[in-house]
Amino acid sequence: MKSVSPPSASFQSQDIVMLRDVYKSFGDNEVLKGVSFSVKRGQVTVLIGKSGSGKSTALRCIDRLEKVNQGRIEVCGHVLTDPGLKLRQLRLDVGIVFQSYNLFPHLTIGENIMLAPRSVKQLSKAEAVDLAKKCLAQVGLAEKFDAYPEQLSGGQQQRAAIARSLAMQPKVVLFDEVTSALDPQLTGEVLRVIERLADDGMTMVMVTHEMNFARKIADQVVFMHQGKVWEIGPASVLDNPQTQELRDFLAHEL
């Protein structure tokens, strides 16, 4: 069966993330084959699909961690295929949280969070301390400012990584399978933090295998299959899939 044509092919002025006919190959392996979708300001978009379907590659292209071979990506007004792109400015507008926490073990949690605001945004130490404490409170870790990463559980470390991203006050936050290395209890505490961010109106694009969470939080679901956008729509597509491929995927995820 052919994929369902995404309705977001014609982009609107309120779109904060736009991918149009994006292709990306690694050597002879074509991972993205004409991917198009858009994300509106304040919207939570969830990318789902089998491993190898291109979800994480699409996410990394949005932050220009990967360069596309063809097509157009625009994020927060930055055209990522523009040779004059200012990567530093793009990274101020776009935060990304990976499945590995990437916290510096020799720095306290507070110091980890203060690092980028001080070096990139030139905040004073007092300003950075205040910001870090606010961001830690936002993820439920107000008491961990002086703790070291090794003293935190995996879920707490992931929440600290989210706080570090929030400290840059991005316009969009990307989440790449942030709970895949966590047990169910720790997964729950991280997902609750993400849910609160959604309630606060944060624009987010996330790759996840947590289908129940996707049903709960997604304004838009993008199902990717074999490097293409196969289905796209509101969270209700998970209960009423239009293609056999999405039905098969959801059956295996249950």
User: Phi and psi dihedrals of 44, rounded to 5?
Assistant: -105, 115
| pLDDT number for residue 37 | 96
Q: 161-199: per-residue pLDDT in tens?
A: 999 999 999 999 999 988 887 888 888 888 888 999 999
User: What rounded mean pLDDT belongs to the chain?
Assistant: 90
Task: CATH number for 7-104+171-253: choose from 2.60.120.10, 3.40.50.300, 3.40.50.620, 3.40.50.970.
Answer: 3.40.50.300
For residue 71, pLDDT over 90 is answered with yes
| Res. 13 pLDDT band, cuts 50 70 90 | low
Over residues 44-57, the mean pLDDT reads 94
pLDDT at position 254 is: 58
Q: Assess whether pLDDT exceeds 90 at residue 8.
A: no
φ and ψ of 207, to 5 deg: -100, 125
- Sequence ranges of the domains in the chain: 7-104+171-253
Ramachandran class of 54: left when φ > 0, alpha when ψ lies in -120 to 50, beta otherwise? left
CB atoms near residue 153 (< 10 Å): 13
Instruction: Report, as an integer, the average pLDDT of 227-231.
Output: 96
